[in-house]
Amino acid sequence: MFNPDSKIYLAGHKGLLGSALQRVLAAKGYKKLITRSHKALDLTDKQQTEAFFNAERPEYVFLCAGKVGGIIGNKTYPADFLQQNLAIQTNVFEMANQYDVKNLMFYGSSCTYPKLCEQPMHENHWLTGAIEATSMGYAAAKIAGIIGCKSYNSQYQNKRFICVIPNSIYGENDNFDLENSHVFSALIRRFHEAKKAGNTEITLWGTGSPRREFIFSDDVADASIFLMKNSEKLENQHYNLGTGTDYSIKTLAEKIAKVTGFTGEIKWDTRKPDGTSRKLLDSSRLLALGWQPSVNFDDGLATTYDWFKKHYD
Ligand SMILES: NC(=O)c1ccc[n+]([C@@H]2O[C@H](COP(=O)([O-])OP(=O)(O)OC[C@H]3O[C@@H](n4cnc5c(N)ncnc54)[C@H](OP(=O)(O)O)[C@@H]3O)[C@@H](O)[C@H]2O)c1
């Protein structure tokens, strides 16, 4: 059973989610963490991946490595998002199966739900309609990953693969590059720079009315550990992971303005597209197992902004 003496491979430990897992696992006394930087181990390379699993023989794997980006990155490089994520998950799934990993956790994405999905989005709504076009390459790889987890479990009649769909994650080590950032980190950077430049106004895309659900990275890490510990109780299906609360982009912008100290006017360029109007997950299937998020949104935002200020330059 998953415990502090388990040998764990944390793939993608320098990223937003991987670094949170490293922090939370260490705080809970897990001592045997195996990590490799992207440079040291390219998981799109099957030979490197096999040599690593053969040498290290991890018992548990958290697969946080992947190509992740915002709208601009996804629109510009859809083939890269598709190919790299497919290659990483194909190699790691195959090796986890071949080298008898006890459990592997895979992270799907809310963009695999239909664009016009009923809200909140329940696991049963999955693949019931067309997905959003802008992130099609990334979403297609994630759909293949979710089906992959279920297929391995079903073919080998075990519960090795655990699949979680977190909503939009925020926290330390997020990507604040404007081409690759998500709305949360992009707004932090824009407001911080506007405040620093002494600007009296800032213009944001769209109407500000779309609603999004955000979950702090440490909560995703905590839920991941909870699911690893409870793997025997899980069904061969994916689990949504969210807080149950969503905010309009306008409210998000106002909260970020406050935390960054920006007091100018927030203007909305309504000629720019809004995107999907709402993306709230129904996480009741996970909550029924006995887990719940513990980080309040305003506290998580303040922690993230503190981290950003220390590391931005
Ligand atoms: N962020 C979200 O809101 C969110 C929501 C739902 C699901 N997820 C999923 O959660 C997982 C983690 O996301 P994240 O936001 O933590 O991503 P992230 O911050 O971009 O971190 C990804 C990590 O993977 C590494 N990596 C990329 N390609 C690799 C390769 N070929 N071989 C080895 N390592 C590689 C990256 O290293 P380099 O930086 O050196 O390339 C980076 O350390 C991803 O599967 C993502 O799809 C994320």
Q: What is the pLDDT of residues 92-120, one digit of tens each?
A: 999 999 999 999 999 999 999 999 999 99
Q: In whole angstroms, what is the distance from residue 256 CA to residue 261 CA?
A: 8
| Ligand 1 center from residue 273 Cα (angstroms) | 26
pLDDT for residue 308: 97
The answer to whether residue 302 sits within a structural domain is no
Sort residue 11 into left (φ over 0), alpha (ψ -120 to 50) or beta.
beta
Helix crossing, 297-311 with 249-260: angle to 10°? 50
State the pLDDT confidence band at 71, using cuts at 50, 70 and 90: confident
State the pLDDT confidence band at 213, using cuts at 50, 70 and 90: very high
What share of the chain in percent tops pLDDT 70?
100
Other beta carbons within 10 angstroms of residue 292's beta carbon come to 13
* 205: Cα within 13 Å, side-chain hemisphere: 10
pLDDT for residue 260: 98
Q: Which residue has the higher pLDDT, 73 or 281?
A: 281
SS3 state of residue 297: helix
| Ligand 1 center from residue 226 Cα (angstroms) | 21
pLDDT for residue 262: 98
H/E element holding 241? strand 239-241
pLDDT for residue 295: 98
pLDDT for residue 102: 98
The answer to whether residue 196 sits within a structural domain is no
The string of pLDDT tens digits covering residues 160-192 is 999 999 999 999 999 998 778 899 999 999 999
Q: Which atom of ligand 1 is nearest to the CA of 14?
A: 43
Name the residue of 17, 80, 165, 173 whose CB sits within 8 Å of the most ligand 1 atoms, as the mutation to test its pocket.
17
Contact 279, 131 (CB under 8 A): no
Q: Which atom of ligand 1 is nearest to the CA of 42?
A: 32
pLDDT for residue 243: 98
Query: What are 164's two structure tokens?
Result: 């979680």
Q: Which atom of ligand 1 is nearest to the CA of 69?
A: 20
- Round to the nearest angstrom and report the end-to-end CA distance of the chain: 43
The answer to whether residue 26 sits within a structural domain is yes
246-248 and 211-216 beta bridge pairing: antiparallel
Known catalytic residues are 138
Instruction: Please count the structural domains in the chain.
Output: 1
Q: 240: domain range?
A: 8-175+214-245+279-295
pLDDT for residue 56: 98
The answer to whether residue 254 sits within a structural domain is no
What share of the chain in percent tops pLDDT 90?
95
| Ligand 1 center from residue 92 Cα (angstroms) | 14
Q: CATH no. for residue 95?
A: 3.40.50.720
Q: Quick one: which of 289, 281, 276 has its CA closest to 248?
A: 276
Query: What are 155's two structure tokens?
Result: 């073919």
The answer to whether residue 263 sits within a structural domain is no
| Ligand 1 center from residue 261 Cα (angstroms) | 30
SS3 state of residue 56: helix
pLDDT at 302 > cutoff 90:
yes
State the pLDDT confidence band at 64, using cuts at 50, 70 and 90: very high
- Pocket around ligand 1 at a 6 A CB cut-off: 12, 14-18, 38, 41-44, 64-68, 84, 88, 107, 109, 166, 168-169, 175, 182
Q: In whole angstroms, what is the distance from residue 23 CA to residue 31 CA?
A: 11
The answer to whether residue 65 sits within a structural domain is yes
36 backbone dihedrals φ, ψ, rounded to 5°: -145, 135
The answer to whether residue 311 sits within a structural domain is no
Helix crossing, 183-197 with 297-311: angle to 10°? 60
The answer to whether residue 141 sits within a structural domain is yes
The string of pLDDT tens digits covering residues 9-61 is 999 999 999 999 999 999 999 999 999 999 999 999 999 999 999 999 999 99
